[in-house]
Amino acid sequence: MTERIGGQRYLLLGWVLLGLAVGAVLALAGLPREASLAWAAAALPVAAHVALGIVRALGGGQLGVDVIALAAILGAVALGETAAGAVVALMVAGGEALEAWAEGRATRSLSDLLARAPRTAARISDGEVEQIDIGEVAPGDLLFVRPAETVAVDGTLEDAEATLDESTLTGEAMPVQARQGAAVRSGAVNAGPAFTLRATATSEASTYAAIVRLTRQAAEERPPLARLADRWALGFLAVTAALSGTAWIVSGDPVRALAVLVVATPCPLILAAPIALMAGIGRAARRGIVVKGGGALERLARVRTALFDKTGTLTPGRPRLASTELEEGLGRDEALRFAAALAQGSTHPVSAALVTAAKGLSVPLADSVTEHAGGGVSGRVEGRDVLLGSEGFLDAQGAGPSDGLGGSAAIAAAGSVAWLALDGRAVAAFVMADGLRPEAPRAIRRLRAAGVTRLVMVTGDRAAAAAPIAAALRFDAVLADLSPEDKIAAVTAERAAAPTAMIGDGVNDAPALAAADVGIAMGAHGTAAAAEAADVVLLVDRLDRAGEAVAIAVRSRSVAVQSIALGMALSGIAMVVAAAGYLPPLAGALVQEGIDVAAILFALTALRPGRQEHRPATVSGDAELAERTGEHARLRALAGELRAAADAVSQGREVLPRLEAAEAAIRAEVLPHQRAEEANLYPAVARALGGRDPMAALARMHAEIETMSGQLAALLRLAATEEGWRSAAPELRRVLFSLDALLTLHIAAEEEVLAEVSPEVSAH
């Protein structure tokens, strides 16, 4: 439909250009009457087209400034100023053609989504590959995805690995590697060899179909700023009528009134605002941000308060074991063995964290494992009755923790604790932590820079779990222990004070997302309910895109308002000059054409980032940025091992081999990593960032880590004897904890700096 309308606009423009050219040739040949007829023939079809549009608008209860263009064309033909009428017609036809081109450019990313929507799939049935309509795919079907094909439906990878290009979905340029069993989203393109996929959803319920629905909704919505422009257009129509009438009455010359009509330009009001907003939507789409229409974009630009869910939004939603509290006589490894034996039979994220923490231990098999809806797992391990779960679950089973174990400071301050009970008695508490997303601090800074003045955390978690994260991110308020209904009430209260955005990812966030002025959903790994309820969907799993979305919205709305103001100001000046008799109709028509083009081209500058937006520098591939950041996951794991080794020092000299292994890992992994960074990466980053020495603090941390690793090696040599162990143990514990803290802090600080030279850097 859009292409057909665009074709009609271009055809009308071609007709006007032909008529103008024929008229000019006839005029130069000394045939003024014939030239006038040619110009009139060029102008009158445009007048008929405009009149038809006005009638349709009146049928919908609207009246716009197209009336001015119609009056100018008909008046010019009636008064014998047919050349001016043809130029006005060229303005109208050219403006509509320019609108079609501009909208096409602004919505190119959205159109690409629609064009690449898969229509068929290759299904493997009885060893045969058959091509079927995408609507026939059912969950459980085995699909064959050829090289360069678009994945038709959501599914799980059956082969050992696959290379996927997800740039259409997320804006990420680099292909990603998926391993067997990984979730694969529809819309991704196979960037490697063919692979097989087990469908987990129908085409309509898959990721890509949801994106297409959001895209269509975004393209069809009429922006509020455009409606505001329509209201301004009515006032502009009244001013134009008054000024042209006054010029006619004062001068007694109807041509003077015609000149005012000719230079009264409606295009900036009609076209510039929606073009600027659609340009912003297109820019956002290229960054993996789906904005559901110009209305959502304009509301996003006005946001001054942002509310955040915690788990899955500010944190990755993947907990890890932070510390262990034990009863006397039970070792950490023994407790982990029993806990992991039960956790292997559970799908809960905390269970997965315990299984991960127990890697390297001899974990026995559990019998009669049962996962209870009340928040725990029960079973038998090595002949003993074992319970694993929340404090409430253990209480319900008559195995609640004693005051001694349950009253520790670590447990009191913890946000999440998994309890272990053996034979009806609580013996261990596993304190879990779900750290910040690496990009969360950067996201908060971008929101502040974009004009968001108040940040609030709204979470169902305990206040003890929420407070440290809120403090680290410098939130203005924390509302904890909230139900979904409480979250709606919090959003409503904040909306009463300022335009508000809600950012979340789960089903329980969907009502709050819908209640906010703008709902922003983490759609990459969030729920469909959240994505449907939100106004903005982040298709890439990066929180900093929320700040980027606000910055794009602010830029687009600013350009829209400025383009309207520019067109109206220039038009007003030209109208006054024409009313004074210094701008005849033909010259005025040419001036008016230039004003229209200038305003619309200015609106298209919304396709580019503004001066206030974050535009990171880059470094070359020779700097090995991807390689170094890719090593951070292993270094984080090593930091966790240092922390666990420090805890184990209290067990005596038998842990010495474990400490020596940790020290060897530092020499084999951390120190070479640091030397490689200082040789290639740091100099390249310093050149990109500029300044006197932007990497000095990070290089100083390298030196301190190296010094402390030398201290650790010396202490381990001293601890080789029983007497040496007694004197070295306290210092060993201190150095190990210090190394853990310094290495963890260094990785976080380094990723913050590296994000400035590559916006896609994140923790691996």
**What is the CATH classification number for the domain harbouring 303?**
3.40.50.1000
What's 196's domain CATH number? 2.70.150.10
| Residue 763: per-residue pLDDT | 35
Is residue 309 part of the annotated active site? The answer reads yes
What's 374's domain CATH number? 3.40.1110.10
Q: Is residue 717 part of a domain?
A: yes
| Residue 403: per-residue pLDDT | 61
For the ranges 83-92, 435-444, 542-551, the maximum mean pLDDT occurs at 542-551
Residues 367 and 475 occupy one common structural domain = no
Residues 269 and 297 occupy one common structural domain = no
Residues 133 and 275 occupy one common structural domain = no
Q: Is the pLDDT of residue 106 over 50?
A: no
Three-class DSSP category at 178:
strand
pLDDT tens-digit series, residues 447-501: 998 899 999 999 877 777 788 888 888 999 999 877 777 888 899 999 999 999 9
For the ranges 529-538, 543-552, 591-600, 681-690, the maximum mean pLDDT occurs at 543-552
d(CA 671, CA 667): 6
| Domain end residue (candidates: 428, 455, 479) | 428
CA 221 from chain centre, in angstroms, equals: 21
Residues 90 and 226 occupy one common structural domain = yes
Residues 104 and 127 occupy one common structural domain = no
- 354, burial (CB in 10 Å: exposed 0-12, middle 13-18, buried 19+): buried
| Domain end residue (candidates: 217, 249, 271) | 217
User: Whole-model pTM?
Assistant: 0.66
Q: Is residue 546 part of a domain?
A: no
pLDDT tens-digit series, residues 622-650: 667 777 877 887 888 888 888 888 888 88
Do the strands 536-538 and 366-372 form a parallel or antiparallel pair, or are they unpaired? unpaired
Q: Which helix (H) or strand (E) holds 144?
A: strand 142-145
**If you compute the radius of gyration of the chain from its CA atoms, what whole number of angstroms results?**
34
Average pLDDT, rounded, for the chain? 81
d(CA 539, CA 288): 5
d(CA 110, CA 214): 10
Tokens matching residue 633? 């996951």
Range of the domain at 533: 289-315+436-539
Q: Is residue 565 part of a domain?
A: yes
Residues 443 and 305 occupy one common structural domain = yes
Q: What confidence category does residue 69 fall into, taking pLDDT thresholds of 50, 70 and 90?
A: confident
Q: Is residue 742 part of a domain?
A: yes
Q: Is residue 13 part of a domain?
A: yes
- 174, burial (CB in 10 Å: exposed 0-12, middle 13-18, buried 19+): exposed
Closest Cα to residue 72, out of 304, 261, 271, 315?
261
Residues 419 and 326 occupy one common structural domain = yes
Residues 568 and 645 occupy one common structural domain = no
Q: Is residue 331 part of a domain?
A: yes
Residue 599: C-alpha distances to residues 405, 570, 587, 671 (Å): 71, 9, 19, 58
Sequence-distant (6+) residues with CB within 8 A of 285 are 109, 110, 113, 215, 291
Residues 353 and 382 occupy one common structural domain = yes
Q: Is residue 545 part of a domain?
A: no
Residues 344 and 454 occupy one common structural domain = no
Residues 633 and 599 occupy one common structural domain = no
Catalytic residue among 230, 309, 541, 740: 309
Question: Integer distance in angstroms from the first to the last C-alpha of the chain?
Answer: 44
Q: Is residue 688 part of a domain?
A: yes
Q: Give the total number of structural domains in the chain.
A: 5
Residues 655 and 705 occupy one common structural domain = yes
| Domain end residue (candidates: 484, 515, 539) | 539
